[in-house]
Amino acid sequence: MEKEYMEYHRQAVIIIAHQGFDQLKSLIELLTPVFEVYVHINKRTPRSEWERFGFEQMQHVKVFSLYKINWGGSNFLKAILYLMNEALKNEKIDYFHIITGEDWPVRNVEEIYQRFRNEKKTYMEFKKLSGMNKKEYRSVSKWQKYYSFLNIFDYKKMPQKIFVKFFVAFQCVMGVNRFKNLEIEMARGVVWGDLPREAVEYCINYLHGNPDFMNYLEYGHASDEFFFQTVLLNSKKWEEKIVNNNLRYIKYERRNGSYPAILDERDMEGIQSGDYIFARKVRMPVSEKIIHEINYIYENEGKKEK
Protein backbone atom coordinates (compact mmCIF):
# COMPACT_ATOMS: atom_id res chain seq x y z
CA MET A 1 0.00 0.00 0.00
CA GLU A 2 1.28 3.46 -0.89
CA LYS A 3 1.86 5.10 2.50
CA GLU A 4 2.13 8.55 0.98
CA TYR A 5 -1.29 8.18 -0.68
CA MET A 6 -2.82 6.92 2.58
CA GLU A 7 -1.46 9.90 4.48
CA TYR A 8 -3.56 12.30 2.39
CA HIS A 9 -6.56 10.07 1.62
CA ARG A 10 -8.04 8.72 4.83
CA GLN A 11 -11.18 6.68 5.49
CA ALA A 12 -13.27 6.88 8.66
CA VAL A 13 -14.95 4.06 10.53
CA ILE A 14 -17.96 5.23 12.54
CA ILE A 15 -18.63 2.90 15.50
CA ILE A 16 -21.67 2.89 17.79
CA ALA A 17 -21.03 0.85 20.95
CA HIS A 18 -22.52 0.17 24.36
CA GLN A 19 -20.93 -3.00 25.72
CA GLY A 20 -18.22 -5.63 25.14
CA PHE A 21 -15.31 -3.23 25.59
CA ASP A 22 -12.60 -5.90 25.47
CA GLN A 23 -13.90 -6.83 22.03
CA LEU A 24 -14.26 -3.18 21.04
CA LYS A 25 -10.61 -2.55 21.91
CA SER A 26 -9.51 -5.50 19.76
CA LEU A 27 -11.65 -4.19 16.90
CA ILE A 28 -10.17 -0.70 17.14
CA GLU A 29 -6.62 -2.08 17.28
CA LEU A 30 -7.37 -4.00 14.11
CA LEU A 31 -8.70 -0.92 12.30
CA THR A 32 -6.38 1.91 13.34
CA PRO A 33 -3.31 0.93 11.30
CA VAL A 34 -5.42 1.88 8.26
CA PHE A 35 -8.49 3.87 9.33
CA GLU A 36 -9.45 6.88 11.40
CA VAL A 37 -11.89 5.60 14.03
CA TYR A 38 -14.74 7.58 15.62
CA VAL A 39 -16.60 5.92 18.48
CA HIS A 40 -19.76 6.82 20.33
CA ILE A 41 -20.41 4.92 23.56
CA ASN A 42 -23.96 4.97 24.89
CA LYS A 43 -24.17 7.54 27.67
CA ARG A 44 -26.33 5.08 29.59
CA THR A 45 -23.16 3.02 30.06
CA PRO A 46 -21.25 4.37 33.07
CA ARG A 47 -17.91 5.88 32.09
CA SER A 48 -16.24 3.73 34.72
CA GLU A 49 -17.09 0.65 32.65
CA TRP A 50 -15.11 1.73 29.60
CA GLU A 51 -12.52 4.41 30.39
CA ARG A 52 -10.07 1.85 31.83
CA PHE A 53 -9.64 0.40 28.32
CA GLY A 54 -7.75 3.52 27.25
CA PHE A 55 -9.73 4.31 24.11
CA GLU A 56 -9.13 8.03 24.51
CA GLN A 57 -5.36 7.54 24.53
CA MET A 58 -5.27 5.44 21.35
CA GLN A 59 -3.88 6.94 18.16
CA HIS A 60 -6.29 7.63 15.28
CA VAL A 61 -9.25 7.24 17.66
CA LYS A 62 -11.77 9.80 18.92
CA VAL A 63 -14.29 8.72 21.54
CA PHE A 64 -17.51 10.44 22.58
CA SER A 65 -20.33 9.60 24.98
CA LEU A 66 -23.00 12.24 24.50
CA TYR A 67 -26.35 10.57 23.88
CA LYS A 68 -28.45 8.24 26.01
CA ILE A 69 -29.58 5.69 23.45
CA ASN A 70 -32.65 3.47 23.76
CA TRP A 71 -33.39 0.69 21.30
CA GLY A 72 -35.20 2.22 18.31
CA GLY A 73 -34.73 5.81 19.51
CA SER A 74 -33.59 8.65 17.29
CA ASN A 75 -30.60 9.35 19.53
CA PHE A 76 -28.95 6.44 17.73
CA LEU A 77 -29.10 8.45 14.50
CA LYS A 78 -27.96 11.61 16.29
CA ALA A 79 -24.86 9.79 17.57
CA ILE A 80 -23.97 8.66 14.04
CA LEU A 81 -24.45 12.16 12.63
CA TYR A 82 -22.37 13.67 15.42
CA LEU A 83 -19.47 11.32 14.66
CA MET A 84 -19.77 12.10 10.96
CA ASN A 85 -19.62 15.82 11.66
CA GLU A 86 -16.48 15.26 13.73
CA ALA A 87 -14.90 13.19 10.97
CA LEU A 88 -15.73 15.81 8.33
CA LYS A 89 -13.46 18.22 10.21
CA ASN A 90 -10.59 16.12 8.87
CA GLU A 91 -10.38 17.21 5.23
CA LYS A 92 -8.27 14.16 4.38
CA ILE A 93 -11.15 11.75 4.97
CA ASP A 94 -12.63 10.60 1.67
CA TYR A 95 -14.88 7.73 2.70
CA PHE A 96 -17.02 6.56 5.65
CA HIS A 97 -17.96 3.11 6.99
CA ILE A 98 -20.74 2.73 9.60
CA ILE A 99 -20.53 -0.24 11.98
CA THR A 100 -21.18 -1.21 15.60
CA GLY A 101 -18.87 -2.47 18.31
CA GLU A 102 -20.26 -5.93 17.50
CA ASP A 103 -19.09 -5.94 13.88
CA TRP A 104 -15.90 -7.52 12.61
CA PRO A 105 -13.96 -7.04 9.35
CA VAL A 106 -14.00 -10.19 7.22
CA ARG A 107 -11.34 -8.97 4.80
CA ASN A 108 -7.84 -7.72 5.41
CA VAL A 109 -8.23 -4.09 6.48
CA GLU A 110 -5.81 -2.91 3.80
CA GLU A 111 -7.92 -4.71 1.22
CA ILE A 112 -11.03 -2.91 2.50
CA TYR A 113 -9.22 0.42 2.25
CA GLN A 114 -8.09 -0.26 -1.30
CA ARG A 115 -11.55 -1.36 -2.37
CA PHE A 116 -12.96 2.07 -1.51
CA ARG A 117 -10.03 4.10 -2.77
CA ASN A 118 -11.48 6.67 -5.17
CA GLU A 119 -14.96 5.11 -4.73
CA LYS A 120 -17.79 7.54 -5.45
CA LYS A 121 -20.75 5.25 -4.80
CA THR A 122 -22.70 4.53 -1.60
CA TYR A 123 -23.24 0.92 -0.54
CA MET A 124 -26.37 0.67 1.57
CA GLU A 125 -29.54 -1.45 1.48
CA PHE A 126 -32.70 0.43 0.60
CA LYS A 127 -36.33 0.07 -0.40
CA LYS A 128 -38.80 2.84 -1.04
CA LEU A 129 -42.01 2.52 0.93
CA SER A 130 -43.92 2.97 -2.34
CA GLY A 131 -42.25 -0.20 -3.65
CA MET A 132 -43.30 -2.40 -0.74
CA ASN A 133 -46.17 -4.87 -0.84
CA LYS A 134 -49.14 -4.20 1.43
CA LYS A 135 -47.97 -6.49 4.22
CA GLU A 136 -44.45 -5.06 4.26
CA TYR A 137 -45.76 -1.49 4.04
CA ARG A 138 -48.13 -1.97 6.99
CA SER A 139 -45.30 -3.42 9.07
CA VAL A 140 -42.68 -0.79 8.24
CA SER A 141 -44.70 2.39 7.72
CA LYS A 142 -46.03 2.47 11.28
CA TRP A 143 -42.46 3.03 12.50
CA GLN A 144 -42.57 6.56 11.12
CA LYS A 145 -46.29 7.10 10.57
CA TYR A 146 -46.95 7.30 14.31
CA TYR A 147 -45.25 8.86 17.32
CA SER A 148 -43.15 6.43 19.37
CA PHE A 149 -41.09 8.62 21.74
CA LEU A 150 -38.45 5.90 22.04
CA ASN A 151 -35.85 8.34 23.33
CA ILE A 152 -38.06 8.49 26.43
CA PHE A 153 -39.50 4.98 26.65
CA ASP A 154 -37.27 1.91 26.83
CA TYR A 155 -38.74 -0.63 24.40
CA LYS A 156 -36.57 -3.36 25.94
CA LYS A 157 -38.48 -3.08 29.24
CA MET A 158 -41.82 -4.87 29.01
CA PRO A 159 -44.08 -2.32 30.80
CA GLN A 160 -42.76 0.49 28.59
CA LYS A 161 -42.96 -1.68 25.46
CA ILE A 162 -46.62 -2.42 26.21
CA PHE A 163 -47.31 1.29 26.65
CA VAL A 164 -45.63 2.19 23.32
CA LYS A 165 -47.58 -0.53 21.48
CA PHE A 166 -50.84 0.67 23.06
CA PHE A 167 -50.00 4.29 22.19
CA VAL A 168 -49.28 3.39 18.54
CA ALA A 169 -52.52 1.38 18.32
CA PHE A 170 -54.42 4.36 19.76
CA GLN A 171 -52.95 6.66 17.09
CA CYS A 172 -53.96 4.20 14.40
CA VAL A 173 -57.57 4.28 15.63
CA MET A 174 -57.50 8.07 15.81
CA GLY A 175 -56.22 8.36 12.23
CA VAL A 176 -52.85 9.91 13.02
CA ASN A 177 -50.66 10.12 9.93
CA ARG A 178 -47.32 11.92 10.24
CA PHE A 179 -46.56 11.21 6.56
CA LYS A 180 -49.01 13.89 5.40
CA ASN A 181 -46.60 16.61 6.53
CA LEU A 182 -43.68 15.19 4.53
CA GLU A 183 -42.63 16.58 1.18
CA ILE A 184 -40.30 13.68 0.33
CA GLU A 185 -40.83 9.96 -0.20
CA MET A 186 -39.62 7.75 2.62
CA ALA A 187 -37.25 4.84 2.05
CA ARG A 188 -35.84 2.33 4.52
CA GLY A 189 -32.89 0.02 5.05
CA VAL A 190 -30.44 -0.81 7.83
CA VAL A 191 -28.00 2.00 8.56
CA TRP A 192 -24.85 -0.13 8.24
CA GLY A 193 -23.16 0.86 5.03
CA ASP A 194 -20.40 2.78 3.27
CA LEU A 195 -20.59 6.33 1.93
CA PRO A 196 -18.23 8.71 0.11
CA ARG A 197 -17.51 12.05 1.76
CA GLU A 198 -19.67 13.93 -0.74
CA ALA A 199 -22.72 11.79 0.13
CA VAL A 200 -22.20 12.38 3.85
CA GLU A 201 -21.83 16.12 3.27
CA TYR A 202 -25.01 16.11 1.18
CA CYS A 203 -26.97 14.39 3.99
CA ILE A 204 -25.63 16.76 6.65
CA ASN A 205 -26.35 19.81 4.49
CA TYR A 206 -29.86 18.50 3.81
CA LEU A 207 -30.54 18.55 7.55
CA HIS A 208 -29.21 22.10 7.84
CA GLY A 209 -31.53 23.19 5.04
CA ASN A 210 -34.49 21.11 6.24
CA PRO A 211 -34.48 21.12 10.06
CA ASP A 212 -38.12 20.02 10.15
CA PHE A 213 -37.08 16.61 8.80
CA MET A 214 -34.89 15.96 11.84
CA ASN A 215 -37.76 17.11 14.05
CA TYR A 216 -39.94 14.58 12.25
CA LEU A 217 -37.43 11.76 12.78
CA GLU A 218 -37.06 12.69 16.45
CA TYR A 219 -40.31 10.94 17.37
CA GLY A 220 -40.25 7.97 14.99
CA HIS A 221 -39.12 4.39 15.49
CA ALA A 222 -35.68 3.34 14.16
CA SER A 223 -35.13 6.65 12.38
CA ASP A 224 -31.55 5.61 11.60
CA GLU A 225 -33.04 3.07 9.16
CA PHE A 226 -34.81 5.82 7.21
CA PHE A 227 -32.59 8.89 7.19
CA PHE A 228 -29.77 8.16 4.72
CA GLN A 229 -31.91 6.13 2.34
CA THR A 230 -34.65 8.77 2.26
CA VAL A 231 -32.32 11.72 1.74
CA LEU A 232 -30.17 10.05 -0.93
CA LEU A 233 -33.03 8.47 -2.89
CA ASN A 234 -34.84 11.79 -3.11
CA SER A 235 -31.86 13.24 -4.96
CA LYS A 236 -31.60 12.30 -8.62
CA LYS A 237 -27.82 12.63 -8.45
CA TRP A 238 -27.35 10.42 -5.40
CA GLU A 239 -30.07 7.93 -6.28
CA GLU A 240 -27.94 6.96 -9.27
CA LYS A 241 -24.89 6.49 -7.04
CA ILE A 242 -26.33 4.20 -4.37
CA VAL A 243 -25.81 0.44 -4.67
CA ASN A 244 -28.48 -1.69 -2.98
CA ASN A 245 -25.94 -3.80 -1.11
CA ASN A 246 -24.36 -2.98 2.25
CA LEU A 247 -21.60 -5.59 2.00
CA ARG A 248 -22.45 -6.91 5.48
CA TYR A 249 -22.91 -10.54 6.49
CA ILE A 250 -25.95 -10.55 8.79
CA LYS A 251 -28.16 -13.53 9.64
CA TYR A 252 -31.73 -12.40 10.13
CA GLU A 253 -32.76 -15.24 12.38
CA ARG A 254 -32.93 -15.82 16.13
CA ARG A 255 -29.86 -17.72 17.23
CA ASN A 256 -27.60 -17.69 20.28
CA GLY A 257 -30.20 -15.63 22.14
CA SER A 258 -30.28 -12.75 19.67
CA TYR A 259 -31.99 -11.39 16.55
CA PRO A 260 -30.16 -10.85 14.26
CA ALA A 261 -28.14 -13.93 15.18
CA ILE A 262 -24.89 -13.79 17.10
CA LEU A 263 -22.52 -15.40 14.63
CA ASP A 264 -20.53 -18.56 15.31
CA GLU A 265 -18.32 -20.98 13.39
CA ARG A 266 -21.33 -22.22 11.38
CA ASP A 267 -21.31 -18.89 9.52
CA MET A 268 -17.77 -19.19 8.20
CA GLU A 269 -18.76 -20.79 4.90
CA GLY A 270 -21.39 -18.13 4.22
CA ILE A 271 -18.93 -15.33 4.98
CA GLN A 272 -16.30 -16.77 2.65
CA SER A 273 -18.74 -17.40 -0.19
CA GLY A 274 -20.15 -13.88 -0.34
CA ASP A 275 -19.02 -10.34 -1.12
CA TYR A 276 -18.73 -8.96 2.41
CA ILE A 277 -16.41 -6.58 4.23
CA PHE A 278 -17.93 -6.74 7.73
CA ALA A 279 -19.96 -9.31 9.67
CA ARG A 280 -22.39 -8.72 12.53
CA LYS A 281 -23.30 -9.58 15.23
CA VAL A 282 -20.19 -11.01 16.83
CA ARG A 283 -20.06 -11.31 20.59
CA MET A 284 -17.72 -13.12 22.93
CA PRO A 285 -17.56 -15.92 23.92
CA VAL A 286 -20.00 -17.27 21.29
CA SER A 287 -18.12 -15.74 18.34
CA GLU A 288 -14.60 -16.36 19.62
CA LYS A 289 -13.85 -19.26 17.28
CA ILE A 290 -15.14 -17.58 14.13
CA ILE A 291 -13.23 -14.37 14.91
CA HIS A 292 -10.02 -16.38 15.24
CA GLU A 293 -10.74 -18.12 11.92
CA ILE A 294 -11.44 -14.83 10.14
CA ASN A 295 -8.31 -13.20 11.56
CA TYR A 296 -6.14 -16.17 10.57
CA ILE A 297 -7.40 -16.07 6.97
CA TYR A 298 -6.94 -12.37 6.31
CA GLU A 299 -3.65 -12.13 8.20
CA ASN A 300 -2.27 -14.77 5.86
CA GLU A 301 -3.80 -13.00 2.85
CA GLY A 302 -2.02 -9.84 3.91
CA LYS A 303 1.31 -11.68 4.12
CA LYS A 304 0.81 -13.13 0.62
CA GLU A 305 0.13 -9.66 -0.82
CA LYS A 306 3.34 -8.33 0.70
110 and 256 share a domain?
yes
151 and 113 share a domain?
no
162 and 214 share a domain?
yes
Q: Is residue 157 part of a domain?
A: yes
pLDDT tens digit string along 234-243?
A: 999 999 999 9
| pLDDT bucket at 70, cuts 50 / 70 / 90 | very high
pLDDT tens digit string along 12-53?
A: 999 999 999 999 999 999 999 999 999 999 999 999 999 999
pLDDT tens digit string along 254-274?
A: 999 999 999 999 999 999 999
pLDDT at 11 over 60: yes
- In this prediction the pTM is 0.94
The residue type at 289: K
CA 106 from chain centre, in angstroms, equals 16
pLDDT tens digit string along 149-198?
A: 999 999 888 999 999 999 999 999 999 999 988 889 999 999 999 999 99
Q: Is residue 204 part of a domain?
A: no
**Residues 188, 140 contacting (CB under 8 angstroms):** yes
102 is in which domain, residue-wise? 3-119+247-305
pLDDT at 305 over 60: no
Residues contacting residue 71 through CB under 8 Å, at least 6 positions apart: 150, 154, 155, 156
Kindly report each contact of residues 205-213 with a partner whose C-beta sits within 8 Å and lies 24 or more positions away, as own/partner: 206/231, 207/81, 213/182, 213/184
